[in-house]
Structure 1
């Protein structure tokens, strides 16, 4: 029986890519992703445990140690992956929480699987946490875990952080299980959101769909049977990146040389623009490509003097909307390149795969203009990575006002991605911005990103959570 842990993170995925060889030996490598990037340094510092799914269906694994963390795998069957993950999490909640950019689907069989899987995560966390431990539950896939864990382990402190937006009452109200989701979240002592608007939306949902009283940022859960009255706090904690790591890497000779080499490989354009996203309909990739294509067609920018690199890493490829999005993006890119490219020179260099982090930092250093055009985004860590990767104070950031990062990075060129003409104007301004203005804007952006890094984010959240009243052992 492994030793219990004082600090436990519960997330949909483990922070490692796991391989099992023919002899049954387990090996792992650190997994990419914003959440892992954010929490791994905190986990190592606190010698914590991480509860999550391995990423492979029907894989039964014992807990193991990797990369300075104790990992507790939660198994999912192939059917649960289809219903809980691809279904309820990514075809119901994801579109609903992202302004219904595509219509969400509501299926009771998906909801039942979501409940069952959340229960399994709660049980795994309960078995991993030491008495009086702090448990930090992450994101929209596990919104029922706080209340389930509270019933199993009323002695632990429970935090929940929502990495994606929380929708307006009018949109959230479409969810048939809206009250159950709210009650699930209210099992936590502290619920964190990326933006003040998300926190306000949640508080409005509590008032609309439950009988609990709210006062400011606090929700009171009244006494029920032998469960004492308690208070839930709601707060805003914008997530960040390991900005010092990015900054230091970007300063190395290896990255500087690779950035120059990339520009040479791309034909040494006068202006190199860059988009980096998961291939997701929330990221505004089609809007960005449309704006760029129109600028080229109108000869406001010319090829090959100007080029756009679009890195679109594969995402949820079994979900129909994502298959459709990939086809649409590739057709748009093909049309623009067919109309405006030449032998050996493309208008858009489209890459549908992931790159090592060092290569991404080199791309950030190489790019004159970074385009972040999300239609709705909880934060968008790419915007912060680009800023952290520019110790030369060069480059310009075009940033959607609908990304959480816009609250902090107000010295970027802020845009409404639905306004194609406005986006084109901002792209042109970024492409022609003088060095002095670039330095002025980037210096202010970097100050914000370097001072408010991931360690600061986690420290603020955990400090609030751990200073809340100690949980009693009454159920």
Structure 2
């Protein structure tokens, strides 16, 4: 059967009720409810399973990794793995099984609505805008980057369905906290705030946050900004992204931020304090170490050593999309080889292309263009007696094999034109340090437009749109002296060893508890409908002041009382 509701949420009409009592010692332990688009599950066909699939936790799932430092217990909410979603019949039995064995509660979205929500609004409208692509970009470049009311309705409906699942299991009176991951669930805080005004909700954006001029072009900008402001904590990868968000709130909503005495940046939104913070997302050291120690990694490492003996290996690992800059990387490699023909026999670029996360002609165009440049480079150099310079591996490639390429490569090249973080240089650095027989050195060439560039003090930062500069950076990384390479590597690894995924989880959880510590003492009044909803918070001192003013005039008289405004 479906999991019983332990929710202490209230209906909007009773949102102004007195605060509930503080739970006693016999209250159930507070949970962390982690919500992401996908559950951290793998599903493989299994005829012996009553559901047709065997499930297991996915160690590569970011939502699982970023829960390592959270207090137990943790409940995960999201959709089923894509490989199984359309083939499984939703049922109470399935929901109960996944909740009992994996602490996962699935959200069952109808196939067409899911596609409209994810591929329509999220990936082909919201995601490009977050990466600084304007709606008036020529249609032949982006296909159909325009606001579509139907896909937006699907986005809202999906977020509402996610909120319904959270409400089934949350008990805000017991101190449960909700951690929401990424832009797919941008509207979720609004629906949670409506039904559960005292719920502690933290939202972390894994993508960039664009300038106010980009956000201004969105027809539903106020509703989307209000969605984030309905959370108690809004987290970003970098200071730049946080500043852009604060600027949008100021310029588009007229809401300013302030810095408290303890240094926290916050926004007062209808009496509620919204905390805005930077959180450094690192890597799951345990997962990488397990992958490095696997037999698959050892076998792949031997294969790589034999295949590229005597050559300098550069590695790239990118999703197939408009913003990863693989084309720019290949053009820079071509320029480097044209200027330094002697390097043709020395280097090889192993480019891992991960499966695209969305579909469309923009993705197809990226594939065609990169393949064309790759073939041109290889044909030119084979004509001069050189071996293949670009070796493309089309994914998916398991982490147990990727780590072998990271550990074997002398240089890692990451060249996106815009990226929220990009952890590939992080993975590379840890593997160069901790792989069996590791050289404990390595060079990283990273785009200054990737979020990770700010944290990698030992990397060579470059503007990937300047092909000459990128070519020079790649050559510098390949020809770098051993001592400089070790020093740069030590700088990067020192940062990563101090900022792993558990550090992120502990920091986020601590900030979220701080942000909603006064909820139990507050009275909430709901205003607005749909995405315009906001919960007006009235603190204890305001409640007492209002009561003291009203009682003398109201006592002993049959009068009607009308309260205007929340003061």
| Length-normalised TM-score, structure 2 | 0.77
Indicate if the aligned counterparts of 1:193 and 1:199 stay in contact, CA closer than 8 A.
Answer: yes
Match of 2:78 among 46, 52, 55: 52
Match of 2:414 among 353, 368, 372: 372
- Deviation for aligned residue 1:368: 0.7
Q: Distance in 2 between matches of 1:73 and 1:301?
A: 56
Aligned partner of 1:279 in structure 2 is: 320
The alignment of Structure 1 onto Structure 2 pairs a total of residues equal to 467
Name which of structure 1's ranges 339-348 and 365-374 shifts more when overlaid on structure 2.
339-348
- Deviation for aligned residue 1:87: 0.9
Structure 2 unpaired stretches of 5+: 7-29, 135-140, 260-264, 434-438, 526-567
Residues 67 and 465 of structure 1, relative CA distance in 2, 3 Å threshold: same
Indicate if the aligned counterparts of 2:381 and 2:387 stay in contact, CA closer than 8 A.
Answer: no
Q: Distance in 2 between matches of 1:140 and 1:254?
A: 35
- Deviation for aligned residue 1:285: 0.5
Indicate if the aligned counterparts of 1:269 and 1:306 stay in contact, CA closer than 8 A.
Answer: no
Alpha-carbon deviations, 1:100-138, whole Å to 9, x = none? 186532111111111111111111111121233100011
Task: Verify: 1:111 aligned to 2:148, yes or no.
Answer: no
Aligned partner of 1:186 in structure 2 is: 229
Instruction: Please give the residue correspondences for 1:64-463 in structure 2 after superposition, counting only pairs within 5 Å.
Output: 64-65=97-98, 69-100=102-133, 103=142, 104-131=145-172, 132-216=175-259, 217-222=265-270, 229-247=271-289, 250=292, 255=297, 258-265=300-307, 267-300=308-341, 302-341=343-382, 345-391=387-433, 392-463=439-510
Indicate if the aligned counterparts of 2:355 and 2:396 stay in contact, CA closer than 8 A.
Answer: yes
Q: Distance in 1 between matches of 2:267 and 2:495?
A: 31
Name which of structure 1's ranges 11-20 and 163-172 shifts more when overlaid on structure 2.
11-20
What secondary structure, in the 3-state scheme, does the structure 2 residue paired with 1:303 have? Answer: helix
Task: Verify: 1:16 aligned to 2:41, yes or no.
Answer: yes
Aligned partner of 2:15 in structure 1 is: none
Residues 258 and 282 of structure 1, relative CA distance in 2, 3 Å threshold: same
Residues 30 and 252 of structure 1, relative CA distance in 2, 3 Å threshold: closer
Residues 6 and 254 of structure 1, relative CA distance in 2, 3 Å threshold: closer
Residues 234 and 317 of structure 1, relative CA distance in 2, 3 Å threshold: closer
What secondary structure, in the 3-state scheme, does the structure 2 residue paired with 1:94 have? Answer: helix
Indicate if the aligned counterparts of 1:6 and 1:133 stay in contact, CA closer than 8 A.
Answer: yes
Name which of structure 1's ranges 100-109 and 47-56 shifts more when overlaid on structure 2.
100-109
Q: Distance in 2 between matches of 1:465 and 1:202?
A: 18
Residues 180 and 94 of structure 1, relative CA distance in 2, 3 Å threshold: same
- Deviation for aligned residue 1:259: 2.5
CA RMSD for the aligned pairs?
2.4
Name which of structure 1's ranges 354-363 and 17-26 shifts more when overlaid on structure 2.
17-26
Ranked by relative contact order (alpha carbons within 8 Å, sequence separation 6 or more), the top structure is 2
Indicate if the aligned counterparts of 1:58 and 1:75 stay in contact, CA closer than 8 A.
Answer: no
Q: Distance in 2 between matches of 1:212 and 1:203?
A: 9
Residues 68 and 369 of structure 1, relative CA distance in 2, 3 Å threshold: farther
Indicate the structure (1 or 2) with the bigger Cα radius of gyration.
Answer: 2
Q: Distance in 2 between matches of 1:249 and 1:19?
A: 20
Name which of structure 1's ranges 184-193 and 303-312 shifts more when overlaid on structure 2.
303-312
Alpha-carbon deviations, 1:321-364, whole Å to 9, x = none? 11211111112212222222379931111111121211111111
Alpha-carbon deviations, 1:185-241, whole Å to 9, x = none? 11110000001110111111111222434224211122xxxxxx2110111112111
- Deviation for aligned residue 1:243: 2.7
- Deviation for aligned residue 1:249: 5.1
Indicate if the aligned counterparts of 1:374 and 1:403 stay in contact, CA closer than 8 A.
Answer: yes
Residues 348 and 72 of structure 1, relative CA distance in 2, 3 Å threshold: same
Indicate if the aligned counterparts of 2:296 and 2:400 stay in contact, CA closer than 8 A.
Answer: no
Residues 139 and 185 of structure 1, relative CA distance in 2, 3 Å threshold: same
Q: Distance in 1 between matches of 2:278 and 2:68?
A: 21
Alpha-carbon deviations, 1:362-397, whole Å to 9, x = none? 111110110011111111111111111112322211
Q: Distance in 2 between matches of 1:145 and 1:120?
A: 9
Indicate if the aligned counterparts of 1:369 and 1:398 stay in contact, CA closer than 8 A.
Answer: yes
Indicate if the aligned counterparts of 2:44 and 2:55 stay in contact, CA closer than 8 A.
Answer: yes
| Length-normalised TM-score, structure 1 | 0.92
Indicate if the aligned counterparts of 2:36 and 2:63 stay in contact, CA closer than 8 A.
Answer: no
Aligned partner of 2:55 in structure 1 is: 28
Q: Distance in 2 between matches of 1:269 and 1:89?
A: 45
